[in-house]
């Protein structure tokens, strides 16, 4: 049975868009072995085209069509769930290219859309979001990641704000990207494989690995990016496999023998 591979990007292939040692060679090796693959990312500061260009600049041959972003998943959700709704977008970065069919309106919104955290998540803006929630306006978060790794250290992300917004706003926030199941299932469909025949490799034990395992993937955690041993020890489950970096992935896939879940 053919094994498909889903790659997290930030912290697995690159850090601050600089290639992690061995990442390009590992990606080439996975392609040579004819494993179906895609890239599943919570990055909401860049479009698919920009992400692909950055990966190519880092020595990895990736096309926009291979990338599944939280923004793209959110656009599909908004089009089907809130057609023609006016959406207030709070996001660090311009990703409107990946939001086709979504009507943006920051004056009188029907829906609040939260993207990646940054300076835009200031006191006044978040207070307005809470006020809208109290009026019954639904809130959709592109992703629920707690943090990401940069050359300057760990930065908190949207997921760190969601519990407070829900408590103050008196409502629930719908999360689309990781760690919600939607992104994993859609990315597997993109490469034409069932979740039980898919491997997810990430640097976040909860949002990447355990969340993928929850929907039937084999989870592979790398010791790069925002990996912290303390987070692994306090996690709600155990990764199927832990490797030093993505450079070790081809050997692991060979050891799995085409059957996810085999012994490490």
Per DSSP, the residues of 200-238 read EEES-IIIIIIHHHHTTPEEEEESSTT--HHHHHHSSS-
Q: What are phi and psi of 75, to 5 degrees?
A: -60, -45
The pLDDT of 61-88, averaged and rounded, is 94
Q: Residue 175, SS3?
A: strand
Within-domain flag for 254: no
**Could you give the 3-state DSSP secondary structure of residue 180?**
coil
Cβ contacts of 16 within 8 Å, gap of 6 or more? 150, 151
| CB crowding 118-139: b at 16 or more within 10 Å, else e | beebeeeebebbbebbeeebbb
For the segment 113-171, what is each residue's pLDDT rounded down to a tens digit? 999 999 999 999 999 999 999 999 999 999 988 887 777 788 899 999 999 999 999 99
Strand partners, 40: 68
Q: Is 147 helix (H, G, I), strand (E, B) or coil?
A: strand
CB atoms within 10 A of CB 93: 16
User: Structural domain of residue 126, as residue ranges?
Assistant: 84-175
Average pLDDT on 173-200 reads 89
Which candidate, 71, 66, 62, places its Cα nearest to that of 44? 71
Provide the 3-class DSSP secondary structure of residue 198: strand
DSSP code string of 62-127: --GGGEEEHHHHHHHHHHHHSTT-EEEEE-SS--GGG-TT-EE-SSS-SEEEE-S-STTS-HHHHH
Q: Does residue 53 belong to any structural domain of this protein?
A: no
Read off the CATH number of the domain in which 127 is found: 3.40.50.1000
Q: Is pLDDT above 60 for 189?
A: yes
Q: Is residue 201 part of a domain?
A: no
Q: How far is CA 87 from CA 8, 34, 137, 242, in A?
A: 28, 41, 10, 40
Q: Is residue 252 part of a domain?
A: no
What mean pLDDT do residues 178-196 have? 87
Identify whether 145 is part of a domain.
yes
Tell me, yes or no, whether 10 lies in a domain: no
248-263 residue pLDDT tens: 999 999 988 754 444 3
Q: How many CA atoms lie within 13 A of 259 on its CB side?
A: 4
Percent residues over pLDDT 70 in the chain: 97
Is residue 167 in a domain? yes
For residue 96, is pLDDT > 90?
Answer: yes
């Amino acid at each position: 049975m053919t094994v498909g591979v889903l790659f997290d990007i930030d912290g697995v292939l690159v850090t601050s868009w600089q290639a992690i040692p061995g990442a390009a060679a590992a990606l080439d090796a996975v392609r040579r072995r004819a494993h179906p693959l895609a890239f599943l990312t919570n990055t909401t500061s860049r479009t698919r085209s920009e992400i692909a260009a950055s990966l190519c600049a880092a020595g990895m041959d990736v096309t926009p069509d291979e990338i599944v972003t939280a923004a793209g998943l959110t656009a599909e959700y908004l089009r089907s769930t809130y057609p023609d709704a006016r959406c207030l977008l709070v996001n660090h970065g311009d990703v409107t290219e990946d939001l086709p069919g979504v009507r943006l309106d920051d004056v009188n919104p029907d829906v609040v859309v939260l993207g990646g955290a940054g300076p835009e998540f200031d006191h006044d803006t978040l207070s307005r979001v809470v006020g809208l929630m109290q009026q019954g306006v639904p809130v959709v978060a592109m992703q629920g990641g707690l943090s990401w790794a940069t050359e300057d250290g760990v930065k908190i992300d949207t997921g760190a704000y969601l519990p407070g917004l829900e408590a103050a706003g008196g409502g629930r926030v719908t999360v689309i990207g990781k760690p919600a199941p939607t992104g994993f299932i859609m990315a597997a469909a993109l490469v034409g494989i069932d979740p039980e025949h898919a491997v997810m490799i990430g640097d976040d034990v909860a949002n990447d690995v355990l969340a993928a395992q929850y929907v039937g993937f084999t989870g592979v955690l790398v010791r790069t990016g925002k990996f912290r041993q303390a987070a692994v020890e306090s996690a709600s489950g155990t990764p199927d496999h832990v490797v030093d970096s993505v450079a070790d992935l081809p050997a692991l896939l060979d050891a799995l023998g085409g059957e996810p879940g085999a012994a490490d």
